[in-house]
Amino acid sequence: MAVIITIDGPSGAGKGTISRMLAKKLGFHYLDSGALYRLLGLAAKRHNVDTGNTKGLITLAEHMDIRFDITAEGSFKALLEGEDVTNTMRTENTAVLASQVASHVNVRAALLKRQQHFATAPGLIADGRDMGTVVFPDAELKIYLTASTEERAQRRYKELLEKGEDVSLPALIEQVRSRDERDMGRDASPLKPAEGAVQLDTSELSVQDVMDTVLNLTVVKGLFKSIHR
Ligand code: DC
């Protein structure tokens, strides 16, 4: 039996950081569902499948050769057809591709089982947009993380500057806004808080504040008796 904790929300809300820390703390598996959509976007580009070609995308979603690894240093690594694509996967261009391929209802359906297979004992932290609403509706704990558009763009800006990338903050704010619009406005599993989800605005919170709140919730929900920080 696997305990499932879902962490949904828009890009830059802190899902990835919190999910990875939580998975490590609890000794759980980790599903980065955004990475799955990002790899599908990259696979589509590699095989010249248009992001509007639903049939082609479904075939890729069902058969693409992907692997996720956690390195000895604890960082997340993604392989597409044996090639390490971790860095390419994180670019803004790939994010746009991911958001486009993710808007097709049948493409999402083709990825559903693949995502559900990650739920193995002792438990899973599932990070994405529809983890609590569609993929794991019976999860023991559902969390919806959010933050203001400006704060989320700022976080991304800092991250990219640290990587030495030349970026403009206004352009990033616009990108965040348009990706939100596409992810929240689509018909297929739009981004929204799941029923019963605990909503947390992280704009003014530190990573440690968010971790403490989430760990407390796991105790309150009776998933763990107490957690030593
Ligand atoms: O979390 P992320 O930024 O890596 O996700 C990239 C895109 O993938 C996001 O803009 C929308 C899509 N996505 C989705 O539709 N459903 C998910 N569960 C995860 C991501």
Ligand 1 mutation pick, 6, 20, 37, max ligand atoms within 8 A of CB: 37
C-alpha 65/C-alpha 215 separation (Å) is 35
Position 151 scores a pLDDT of: 96
Is-contact 183 159, C-beta < 8 A? Answer: no
Residue scoring higher pLDDT (164 or 121): 121
Selected residue with higher pLDDT from 115 and 163:
115
Q: What is the pLDDT of residue 34?
A: 96
Residue whose CA is closest, atom 1 of ligand 1?
A: 34
Question: What number does the ligand 1 atom closest to the CA of 37 have?
Answer: 8
pLDDT at 207 over 80: yes
Residue-level pLDDT at 213? 96
62-89 mean pLDDT: 91
pLDDT band at 108 (very low <50, low <70, confident <90, very high): very high
Across 86-112, average pLDDT: 94
Indicate the top mutation candidate among 183, 186, 189, 192 to test ligand 1's pocket, ranked by most ligand atoms within 8 A of CB.
183
Pocket of ligand 1 (CB under 6 A): 11, 33-34, 37-38, 95, 98-99, 102, 128-130, 179, 183
In the predicted structure, residue 163 carries a pLDDT above the cut 90? no
pLDDT of residue 223: 86
Predicted confidence at residue 228, as pLDDT, reads 63
Phi and psi for 11 in degrees, rounded to 5? -65, 140
> What are the pLDDT digits (tens) for 11-46?
999 999 999 999 999 999 999 999 999 999 999 999
For residues 92-113, give the mean pLDDT. Answer: 94
- CB-based contacts of 53-61 (< 8 A; 24+ apart in sequence): 54/104, 54/106, 54/107, 57/101, 57/104, 57/107, 57/110, 58/106, 58/107, 58/110, 61/107, 61/110, 61/111, 61/114
Average pLDDT over every residue of 116-135: 97
Distance 98 CA to ligand 1 centre (A): 6
Distance 227 CA to ligand 1 centre (A): 30
Contact 156, 162 (CB under 8 A): no
Q: Residue 134's closest CA among 2, 39, 3, 8?
A: 8
Task: Specify the pLDDT at position 229.
Answer: 61
Q: Domain 3-216: what homologous superfamily?
A: P-loop containing nucleotide triphosphate hydrolases (3.40.50.300)
- pTM for the model stands at 0.93
Helix axes 33-46, 105-116, angle to 10 degrees: 120
Q: Which residue has the tokens 């879902």?
A: 6
Q: What is the DSSP-derived secondary structure letter of residue 139?
A: -
Using DSSP bridges, classify how beta strands 76-80 and 83-84 pair: parallel, antiparallel or unpaired. Answer: antiparallel
Q: Identify the pLDDT of residue 92.
A: 83
Nearest atom (ligand 1) to Cα of 115? 18
Tell me the backbone φ, ψ of residue 141, rounded to 5 degrees. Answer: -140, 130
Which atom number of ligand 1 is nearest to the Cα of residue 179? Answer: 10
What is the Å distance from ligand 1's center to 138 Cα?
Answer: 21
Structure tokens that stand for 41 in this block: 């976007």
pLDDT value at position 75? 82
Q: What distance in angstroms lies between residue 229's CA and the mean position of ligand 1's atoms?
A: 30
